[in-house]
C-alpha cells in the first residue's frame, strides 16, 4: 500500500467501527446506563450475558497484549526476550512489575487512570513528533518518505540507537 491507500484504509476502518459504537453508546450517554443494562432490552436478562462476556474476553485479551508489549518495550537494552524458544527471567520480572503497576491503577480507580492520561497525553504527542522528525531525517524529507511504499518495521529498529 502507498500512504494514501493506508490512510484511506485506516479511515474506513474507523468509520465502520464508529457507527455501531456510537449507536450502542447513545443510550448510555442519554440515560446514564452501562452497556450490559442496555443490552437487556435487546437480548433479555439472560441473553445480555453473551455480549457482556464477549466484551470482557476482548478486554482481557487486550490487557494481556498491552502488558506484553509494555514489558517488551520497557527493556530495549537488555538481552533478547526469546532465547531458544523460552522467555528469559528478565522479561518475567519486567512483566510482573508492569502487571503490579496496572493492578495498582485498577485498584485505585478511574481517577488514577485519568491522572495518568493527563500526564501521558502531552508526552505521547512529543514522542510522536520526535519520531516523525526522525523518520523525515532518515528518509531525506517528507517527499521521499511518502513516495516510498510501506514496509514492515520492527519496534526494535527504533530502540537500537539507544546506548
**pLDDT tens sequence across 62-101:** 888 887 777 777 665 455 544 445 666 777 777 788 888 8
Task: Pick the more confident residue, 105 or 61.
Answer: 61
What secondary structure letter does DSSP report for 84? T
Q: C-alpha grid cell for residue 93?
A: 520480572
Half-sphere exposure of 99 (CA within 13 A, CB side): 10
CA 102, 29, 38, 58 torsion-angle sign:
negative
Global pTM reads 0.47
**pLDDT tens sequence across 29-58:** 888 888 888 888 888 989 988 988 988 899
State the average pLDDT for the chain.
79
Chain position carrying cell 526494535:
156
What secondary structure letter does DSSP report for 86? E
Is residue 36 packed enough to be buried (19+ CB in 10 Å), middle (13-18) or exposed (0-12)?
middle
Amino acid at each position: 500500500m502507498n500512504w494514501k491507500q493506508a490512510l484511506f484504509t485506516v479511515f474506513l476502518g474507523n468509520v465502520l467501527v464508529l457507527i455501531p459504537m456510537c449507536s450502542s453508546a447513545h443510550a448510555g450517554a442519554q440515560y446514564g446506563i452501562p452497556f450490559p443494562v442496555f443490552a437487556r432490552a435487546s437480548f433479555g436478562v439472560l441473553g445480555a450475558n453473551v455480549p457482556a462476556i464477549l466484551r470482557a474476553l476482548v478486554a482481557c485479551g487486550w490487557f494481556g497484549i498491552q502488558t506484553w508489549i509494555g514489558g517488551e518495550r520497557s527493556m530495549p537494552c537488555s538481552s533478547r526476550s526469546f532465547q531458544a524458544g523460552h522467555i528469559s527471567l528478565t522479561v518475567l520480572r519486567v512483566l510482573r512489575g508492569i502487571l503490579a503497576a496496572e493492578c495498582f491503577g485498577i485498584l485505585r480507580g478511574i481517577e488514577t487512570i485519568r491522572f495518568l492520561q493527563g500526564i501521558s497525553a502531552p508526552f505521547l504527542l512529543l514522542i510522536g513528533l520526535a519520531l516523525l522528525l526522525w523518520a523525515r531525517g532518515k528518509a531525506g524529507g517528507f517527499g521521499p518518505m511518502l513516495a516510498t511504499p510501506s514496509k514492515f518495521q520492527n519496534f526494535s529498529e527504533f530502540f537500537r540507537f539507544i546506548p
